Structure 1
Amino acid sequence: MLTAAVSEVALRIHLRDTHWERLHPPLLEVGTYAVDPEPYGPPWRTWEECGAQEAAARGIFAPSGNLSDGPSDTVLLAPGDMRGTTLILERAAGYCMGIDGRDGPNLACLSCDLPVGTRIDDCGCWQVVRLLPQAIVRLPGPPERPVMDWPELLGSSALWQRLGEYRDIPAGVALAHVVVAAKGCPVEVAPGPAADLLGPTLAALLPAREGAKRLGLAGPGLGGSAAELVLVPVHPQTGEMWQPSGGAVAVPVEATLWAELASPTHRVRLPTVGGLPTGVERDDPLPPHPRTRFRPSGDAFRRTLARLPAVREPWLREIYDRGY
């Protein structure tokens, strides 16, 4: 078995959440891989069977569905980067459009027939292969991609990729971190795209009263912010959070979403004046208007809170149990 993945990247926060009954693209770019520290796959145990103490030792601090007793540190890569494997057909069950990995490792090595990993490509699932850590031997290969600094990253097309339509997931993750950083205080979001994205939900979760904390945007290429809480990007290659100067509390945001908030015109470029010449008709339809207001993912919000120790505080546990 061989793979073509040579460059390690940070684990995408999209991994834990999806859009139900929709075919998803590969989670990772071609030629890259990431390591998932959490257990994955069967057998599964309920929260009650594990107990709060064991769950906390795994980094989960509130009831969050069934817990896996599968292997930790599985290596994730794009399905197209796999070589020399074959499907174990009796383990290739799925929901409706592909394989969902419910039966455990479903890929075997062509050379030795031993199970080596799990391919997942069903609807409602990110397309990904999870390799068992004991099945992997690192061989010499091409050098890994160099880590881009922030100016290079923002000046390239690396952040404007095909997971943008799933931005409700990183928005839900960011929302959870904002609520924890606020420590129960209401949050006033500085006017702009961040207020449009998070403001209404924050107002519902943390109703207005005295002692509100200001939430702003900070990061590479932006000036200083007088806000007490600042949304900052997480580097997609290293997973390191950009550090603001001053005493503001940094709130991590997935880099593509942060770039959209920092430079909204970069995502959709529209003419500022004028229109089509007289007599010229459009030959493409206008983009459809959304049927409902965009909202951060509630599932991603709760799943993130469950993995933050602060969720054990009574005020935050109440928000977690209530959801939105």
Structure 2
Amino acid sequence: MTDATTSLLTEHFSYTPLSLIDDIINSINNLIYQAISSLETGLLNTPPERLGFAHAANGSTIPDTDEDGNVIYPEAQLEIENGLHQLETLLEATVDKTFDKFELFVLRNTFKIPEDLMGWIRLKHYENLDLNPPEDAPTAETIAAQRKKLQETKKLNRALKREYAQNEAVIAQLRQILSNNASEPDTTKANEEAPTTETTQDLDLSFLTSSAAARQLRVGAVAGPGTQHTPITTNTTFILSQLPALQACIKELRPKLATLQQQSEDKMEADSKADARREYIESRVRLHLERAGQLAAGNEANPVITGRKIDIAEAQALESVMGLLAEGGSKSE
């Protein structure tokens, strides 16, 4: 089957041809399972004696019985289950093999539509439809291009609207400024220097005297009837009077700070040079002692300095001297 045939049959059946074949195979499998289940029920309900099961006739053993007195055959149920499983497996394999052939036959013959008939088949919902589009009919490419143009146009439209709103806001602000400038009367120089009531109202410094911290520091507290302290003014005046002296001190200390930093840097550099020279001298001394054999194995931080090496003859002479001294001491005693 070709893709065109599959599409046509799917459109006609409203399902694919393979779905029909799968439904047929599933129906056969369901019939097999029902038959196996019925056969299992019948075999389990049949007395084992009728199926050929029996105990040994020597009479040496007594068979087990159930509550109704029927003889129990444990091997009967096991053999029935094994037999049914083998039968089910055999039927499934046979169905799979047979219906694979059925599927190939149906797809190659029943559901096959010749190529020369594909253009002549008209389904019911094809009526009054012109399946031969004109030359100027839109194609998938042209539709995609138009859709892209539409998206770009919408994007440009949104950008223009946003720009228009921003421009309108700027124009409104400019118009308000122009209207305020036109409505303001000419004032004298004294009025320009004097603070206006609006400025005073905008500059609200009441928190300096009415906040909780101000009350805790007794800033703006009422000292008597009709009298109010103004320590903020006093403190501010004092701080402003001390600013020139503070600036002079800073100006005087700034060169000293630079000199101090330079001296500290020079001292650190000299210390580093002295440490490097000391380490070099110690390393050279240690190397000389190692070469001369005067430095024994030990801790590098606390090296063990050995004395002069003694020959064997000198050691023997010292031993003889010690022996003579020991003999002289024993005789004197």
TM-score strictly above 0.5: no
TM-score interval, smaller chain: under 0.3
TM-score, reference length from structure 1: 0.12
Higher strand proportion (structure 1 or 2): 1
Which structure is richer in relative contact order (CA contacts within 8 A, separation 6 or more)? 1
Q: Determine which structure has more spread, i.e. the larger CA radius of gyration.
A: 2
| Structure 2 length-normalised TM | 0.12
